[in-house]
Structure 1
Amino acid sequence: MSTCSVSKGCFVFKPNSKKRKISSTADYFSEGNNDSEDSELRFDTCQLLWKRIKSETEQLQEDLNKKLYDNLISFLRQSHSDFKEKKTEWACRMKSSEIPAAALVLGVNVTDHDLTFKSLSEALCEDITPFVVSLRSKECPGIKHLLQKFMAQLMGCHIEVDSYEEGECSKASPNRMRCSVASLTDWYRNITKKKYTDTPCKKETFSSRHWEPPPVVVIFKDMESFTTKVLQDFIIIISQCIHEFPLVLIFGIATSPVIIHKLLPHSVSSLLCIELFQSLSCKDHLSTVIDKLLLTSQFPFKLSEKVLQVLINIFLYHDFSVHNFIKGFQLSLLEHFYSHPLSVLCCDLQESRKRVNFLSHNQCENIRRLPSFRRFVESQASKKQTVLLTDDACLKEETQVLLQDLHTYHENYFPVLRCLHAFTSSLPNYPLGKQIRELHCACLERKVWETEDYESAIQLVRMLAKDELIAILQKCIEIITLSSARCLGNSTEKLEEYLDHFKNLEATDDQEEPVSSLKEIQKKTDLYRLQKTLLEMKESRRLKKLTKFEMLRFEVVDFIDSLVRSYLVPPETQTLHEVMYFSMASTLREHLNAAPRIAVHTALNNPYFYLKNEALESNTGCISNAAPDICIAYKLHLECGRLINLVDWLEAFSTVVTAAEDQNSTVKDQMEEIIHYRDCPKRGFIAAECCPHSFCILLRFSPCCSLQHQLLGDLEVQGSQVRSVLVLY
């Protein structure tokens, strides 16, 4: 299906008469996968697990923003009550002349602002008012466009802005309305009158939960990006309506509230009654998300240390977007179920036990190939090794036990991790990190008790005061009590016993210096006797017996250290951890960390990498004539040195393209004619940028040209600098 025409046109190619096979989503999930066994079940498990995670994150988002929304609603309620009482006193009339405005500081995570404003608009439309307008700077380059967007969203009809430059006004059609203060007030008065008089209308506008009269809320999603003149004109225009109906402005700010006074002069900002609202910090939001998604045994899917570090680094060094972090988590989930055949067991414990019984022989062989299972087999007796490697039934029974152990490991790991974080999060210089995610990454990477940071943290914990220890012990008891770990039940009783000992401990001060030593220091003496006395005091202090508090504190620290050594072992030490842990950090980095220069070079130098066409596969150093023109020209460009001659370059390009061995004479003549139109200097020529980091080819055709062939022969482009040759004729 090709055309020989060089003119512009639209060509229709009819599809084949044969009906194409309709594939399901699960078929696409297994396409290209070498081990596609149980692909449909893996896809269903992945979808079900993601629905649970998505529901949890959405609920978490609502809970985190609930306080912010409640404060905004109370602000709207106050401004609404002021409007109702504005005609009673002169002071109220003066106050009502100002437009209530909420400065909503959301932070630099701009990609998350859309979700925040979407949920805010839904909350306002559901319970307060149906008149919510959301404006974005790229949609409002001028005051005319802003007014059109404002009136269109508010009234749901096409808006025409009055043009004062035109001498005549066009006739208004039934579905059009002029944008003016009078039309806006008339519209609001009429639509509220319909509600109060219960006049039947075609479309129900109000709800029984809406306020009466409902306010008009205008949201500027990105205030910093709006043009100053546009904002000033809109506020001045809309201030004329504030006496007719309640109006509230909400400014979305990413940087600082000072931007309001930078964009608006005093004459305009004096028309606003501004109140500041601060959203939750994006770092705190991320900590909460990690706490609810990763640091829990509720979801079986887990991330390895390197994968988690990739997602955290993208968050901290690129966008501060929690939404993108969740998308990266979703991509990890999808990649794990797509690439790992044993991910079919990455589900709840009861369901995984049932699925183990239906594993095929190939899946049993996949279990035997796991590195963690190999280490487990090597640690067993020789007879059991033979049974595990040959008998599938015995393997399935052992797999159920190992999955139970892995589930128990997670139930014990997270409470102990939180207890250790409670002890170390308030230490000076934070040797194990201030955030729990840092401690989690350290525990995933290696045995944390073998690091120097852990040793320094334990030494600092041994110097905590009595009040601090009591508060931390109470917190640890709450953590273990709320967890579902059965093995840690005795730990709760032990911590409660320590807590009672601390509370009943008498506040005795056994650290007073002996009176005799103090008297000796106060006496007049020489330097030698003073030094001798100080050394004796130091030695006596070293040999002094520990107090009851110090002994009890050492016992508590040793007990916490024993819990850490028992339950905070890295997941790589657990058998079958590959079933639940995604560890392909390089794959995730390729998807999320864009490298345009490397991608462009790979596409031009090896088009088979992306196109997957067998005709494009060639040996290293060879140039296939079936490759796209841009790839052929680029590889020929790489063969040149510092300077490149355009004529030689084009001749080499023509030689490579026409180098087909199995072409007949007719096809070859047609091919030469096409190449002639491509590179003949009388018709046009290729303009190129010969730079190692960027490459571009532009084709220029002309029916006639008076340029001489020698002109192109004299043009040379230096390869070490960015130079472009382009002649328009």
Structure 2
Amino acid sequence: MATSSFSRGCFVFKPSAKKKKMAVGLERYFTHGCEGSESSEVRFKICLDLWNKVKMETEALQDELNRNILDSLLEFTRKCSSTRDHSDWASQMRASEIPTAALVLGVNVPDHDMTFQSLSDLLRHSVTPHVASLQAKECAALKHLMKRVLERLMSTVVAVGDEEEEELQQTDTELQKSVHCSLTALCDWYISKTKKSSCSTPGKKRSSSVVDGQHQQPPVVIIFKDLEAFNPRVLQDFILICSRYIQRLPLMFIFGIATSPSTIQHMLPNSVSSLLCIELFQSLSCTQHLTTVIDKLILTSSFPFKLSGKVMQVLVSIFLYHDFSVRNFIKGLQLALLEHFHSQPLSSLCCRKNEARLNVQQLGPADLERIRQLPSFKRYLKEQEEQDNLMTDDAHLKDLCQKLIKDLHKYHKNYYPILRCLHCLTSSLPRYPLGKQIRELHLICLEKNVWESEDYQSAMKLLKMLAKDELISLLQTCAEVLQPVRSKKMKNALVQLEELLAKLKLLDAAAEVGPSVEENLTSPVRNLQKKTDLFQLQKMLLEMNESRRSKRMSPFEILRNEAVEFVDSLVKNHLSPPESKPLYEVCYYTSSATVRRHLNATPRTSIQAALSSPYSYIQELKERGNDRRMGSDSVLVVLVDQNQAVYCGVKFTLRLSANNSLKTEDGTVSNAAPDICIAYKLHLECGRLINLYDWLEAYSTVVSAAEGSNPDSDGFGKVDEVKHARFIRAVSELEFLGFIKATRKKTDHVARLTWGGC
């Protein structure tokens, strides 16, 4: 039965064990299809080094941020376990209560796995080897929850029922050690484990002992990663069962909460929650975590790769409006890093200063021509007198590039300290004219000259109204920021700042109080109380205005204005946007559309594009298949976005030739297109409700023309069994994709869910 539908030409091939063993180097995937292949190896090495640096920095940062909360949890588990071992359990809690730690982690659910993994490792290393982590998706029923707990604690096969246990023992001899799914079996196993550890030789390290060796019976810790997703009834039954074994088994719970601690009260009735001795632990907020990550990875001169304002705005917007996941933000940063080094041939200069100056000497004629075509370099050439020499002399251009790269590194070295100083001065001002977070100020500085904005002018006016103590405190903070910076300009700025601080501290309190406005206006106001004519009144008002204008500034006000002007000069000298610097394209990644397309996928738009233009889409998939050194008819088809086809564990092989008969113009779809494309095109011509019979007849007419039938014959356009089956298959696929749905208004109609084409 001949057919051209997608379903007919799509097959699934499970990956074989031999193909898994075939390891393909990462470098080939990076260099294949890479623009500027002559420097691809150098760029790949730099990209890999920066990638590893990001990974190491984020892991260390994650451990540092979670240190306080994890230390508190470890102390809690040690305290509960030690009180039990010293027979002081009754004084701390009732005998039937289970010690429980309610860990509030926030709504950034993708980041929770890293926290729980670190917690499990620390517990196993320093408190107890008996730790089990559970997720709601694997504990739909009580028997499944019990099974997961026993399997992860006992490291053995657990039979849920008698019939299942018999089947397991009959199928495999290795599974004859399976145990019954009950806490009694867990108690027996725990007693045997603790006896073995207590009877071990003194020279042998016990697996169940703590580092300090205080207690002999380590607790059994059960971690519920996503408490809100658990079935409340299943959780209640499990807690009731565990409370009956608390005398024999030192159980301990850790609840991972994403929303609020009141979730426990909503999920558990009082009769169940009273069996838990709950202690609350609050983790660091995800916004504070993001601020720290941006501070360590982006707002630093030690990391040469930079993001443009639009790219950073995309990543921050995804964080704030989608998932609050710092982990996904770091993945977006790594994606931008990979795209920059893959698409920018001059990214070989995006490295440390000394290494970049050496790489400049290795640039070929093609790279030097790319430098001449950079927009920032063209602007720089307009300001130079020796333009002809730079356009023809490669050696002279290399020398200039070394100087420009050095200046770019100096710019970054001075930019970030001044940015932090300006943030320190303005982040506490009323209404936050330049933003409350430093990332907001950084985005403003990336887009334009910050000193030309109205918000900056209002911030400077507010700074001129600060009191003496506030000003001294803020300037001291700025001095601490500039202290560790090794730059001549920053050292000179630090010296001037310290001089201003010394002058402010030497001011006497009496000298700060200048002539008040009330004293200047006392005599004229008193004269107003006497009888006077219009001429005298006008004269008195003029004297009052002159007295206001001639008011002398106090020494503190003079120093305060001097300090604000000093800060303003630093901002104008060092916070110019990076686009004003030549060769900034070497370090800055600017393609925000690419990042948005990869991270904010639009599947409906991609599907509509594929159905509206099957030739272009299939041709693109074939080209991507050939890029991966596969056969011309073998393409990995996984719809992610309009331009992406990725691996997903199995191979979907599409055997459909992208021949010229599929190529059409003016937005139409060929009658030789797949069935689903024809059905999709026809449904676009219908209204809110689609008559299935009319739709079927139109489809049959189009398919008959594709088969080459004579339009004048009697059987042209008639519906047979094959066409009917193909049409039903196409309609079912459209319903699955969400383009139509069944309706109760008319039995022979379907409702259309979309409007317009692609």
Shift of 1:112: 1.1
Give me the whole-angstrom Cα distance separating, in 1, the residues matched to 2:538 and 2:3: 104
Partner of 2:678: 632
* Inter-partner Cα distance in structure 2 for 1:325 and 1:178: 45
Residue equivalent to 1:488: 490
Corresponding residue for residue 121 of structure 1? 120
d(CA) in 2 for partners of 1:392 and 1:660? 67
Residues 295-304 or 389-398, more deviating:
389-398
Which residue of 2 is the match for residue 646 of structure 1?
A: 695
User: Displacement of 1:486 after TM fit?
Assistant: 2.7
Question: In the TM superposition, what whole-angstrom CA distance separates every residue of 1:95-149 from its partner, at most 9, and x where no partner exists?
Answer: 3432111110011111111111111111111221111111111111111111110
Alignment of 1:548-697 (within 5 A): 548-611=555-618, 612=620, 613=622, 615=659, 616-624=662-670, 627-639=673-685, 645-659=694-708, 678-680=722-724, 687=731, 694-695=738-739
Q: Kindly tell me: are residues 720 and 133 of structure 1, through their superposed partners in 2, closer, same or farther at Cα, counting changes over 3 Å?
A: closer
Which letter does structure 2 place at the counterpart of 1:349? K
What's the CA shift string for 1:473-517, capped at 9, x where partnerless?
Answer: 111111111223332111000000000011110112224456695
Equivalent-residue separation in structure 2 for 1:446 and 1:89 (angstroms):
64
Aligned-pair distance for 1:621? 3.4
Residues 449, 272 of structure 1: alpha-carbon distance in 2 compared, 3 angstrom cutoff: same
Q: Write the deviation string for residues 182-209 of structure 1: whole angstroms up to 9, x where unpaired.
A: 3222211110111111179x99854773
Distance 2:484 2:427 in 1: 20
Contact 1:678 1:684 in 2 (8 A): no
Match of 1:392 in 2: 394
What's the TM-score, normalizing by structure 1? 0.85
Q: Is the 8 A contact 2:35 2:342 kept in 1?
A: no
| Counterpart AA for 2:52 | K
Residue among 181, 184, 189 paired with 2:183: 181
Quick check: 1:244 aligned with 2:248? yes
Give the corresponding residue for 1:664: none
Aligned residue in 2 for 1:334: 338
Unpaired runs of 5+ residues, structure 2, are 17-21, 623-657, 711-715
1:290-305 pair list within 5 angstroms: 290-305=294-309
Alignment pair present for 1:103 and 2:149:
no
Q: Distance in 2 between matches of 1:593 and 1:721?
A: 21
Asked if 2 retains the 8 angstrom alpha-carbon contact of 1:690 and 1:721, the reply is no
Find the counterpart in structure 1 of residue 47 from structure 2. Answer: 46
Q: Distance in 2 between matches of 1:689 and 1:192?
A: 58
Q: Distance in 1 between matches of 2:78 and 2:665?
A: 73
What is the aligned counterpart of 2:219 among 215, 225, 229? 215
Whole-angstrom distance in 2 between the partners of 1:647 and 1:540 = 92
| Identity within the alignment, % | 49
Equivalence for 2:267: 263
For residues 582 and 612 of structure 2, what CA distance do their matches in structure 1 show?
A: 43
CA distance in 2, matches of 1:228, 1:369: 64
1:594 Cα deviation from its structure 2 partner? 2.2
With a CA cutoff of 8 Å and minimum separation of 6, indicate the structure with the bigger relative contact order: 2
Report the equivalent of 2:630. none
CA distance in 2, matches of 1:416, 1:351: 26
Mapping 1:427-576, distance limit 5 Å: 427-508=429-510, 509-512=513-516, 518=522, 525=529, 536-537=543-544, 539-576=546-583
Q: What is the CA–CA distance in structure 2 between the aligned matches of 1:470 and 1:684, rounded to whole Å?
A: 78
Q: Give, in angstroms, the shift of residue 237 of structure 1.
A: 1.1
Distance in 1 (CA, whole Å) between partners of 2:506 and 2:388 is: 59
- Cα gap change, 1:641 to 1:396, in 2 (>3 Å): same
State the one-letter code of the partner of 1:426. Answer: S
Task: Say which is worse superposed, 337-346 or 555-564, in terms of deviation.
Answer: 337-346
SS of residue matched to 2:335: helix
Correspondence for 2:130: 131
Q: How far apart are 1:286 and its partner, in Å? A: 0.6
Q: Does 1:83 align with 2:84?
A: yes
1:25 correspondence with 2:29: no
Residues 608 and 50 of structure 1: CA distance in aligned 2, closer, same or farther (over 3 Å): farther
Superposed CA offset, 1:248-292 (max 9, x none): 111011111011111111111111111110000111111111111
**Helix, strand or coil at the partner of 1:275:** strand
- Measured in 2, the distance between the counterparts of 1:657 and 1:527 equals 107
- TM-score, normalized by length of structure 2? 0.82
Counterpart residue identity of residue 679, structure 1: K
**Which stretch of structure 1 is more off in the superposition, 612-621 or 418-427?**
612-621
Point out where structure 1 has 5 or more consecutive residues left out of the alignment. Answer: 16-20, 662-671, 699-713, 723-729
Equivalent residue letter for 1:298 = S
CA contact (8 A) 1:432 1:454 kept: yes
Between the aligned partners of 1:59 and 1:696, the Cα distance in structure 2 is 50
1:280 and 2:316 are equivalent in the alignment: no
Match of 2:323 in 1: 319
Change (3 A) 1:637 1:266: closer
Matches of 2:493 and 2:168 in 1, distance apart? 83
**Alpha carbons of 1:681 and 1:160: their partners in 2 closer, same or farther (altered >3 Å)?**
closer
Shift, 1:170, TM fit? 11
Shift of the 627–79 alpha-carbon distance from structure 1 to 2, 3 Å rule, reads: same
Q: How has the CA–CA distance of structure 1 residues 516 and 160 changed in structure 2, closer, same or farther, with 3 Å as cutoff?
A: closer
Looking at structure 2, the residues matched to 718 and 161 of structure 1 have their Cα atoms a distance apart, in angstroms, of: 46
Give the superposed CA RMSD. 3.8
Distance change >3 Å, CA 510–CA 681, structure 1 → 2: closer
Deviation at 1:715, TM superposition (A): 5.5
Cα distance 1:238–1:409, how it changes in 2: closer, same or farther (>3 A)?
Answer: same
In structure 2, the CA distance between the partners of 1:394 and 1:232, relative to structure 1 (3 Å rule), is: same
Matching residue's letter, 2:59: E
Q: Distance in 2 between matches of 1:652 and 1:527?
A: 105
1:335-362 residue CA offsets vs partner (Å, 9 max, x unmatched) = 1111111111111111111111111111
Distance change in 2, residues 1:576/1:199 (3 Å): same
Cα shift readout 1:552-594 (whole Å, capped 9, x = no counterpart): 0000000000000000000000000001100001111111112
Distance 1:122 1:11 in 2: 39
Alpha-carbon distance in structure 2 between the residues aligned to 1:306 and 1:357: 32
Q: CA offset at residue 42 of structure 1?
A: 1.6
Query: How far apart are the structure 2 equivalents of 1:635 and 1:444?
Result: 45
The residue number in structure 1 matching 2:355 is: 351
2:636 is matched with which residue? none
Count of aligned pairs:
682
1:414-463 alpha-carbon deviations (Å, 9 max, x no partner): 00000000110000000000000000000000000000000000000110
Amino acid at match of 2:150: M
Shift of 1:161: 4.1
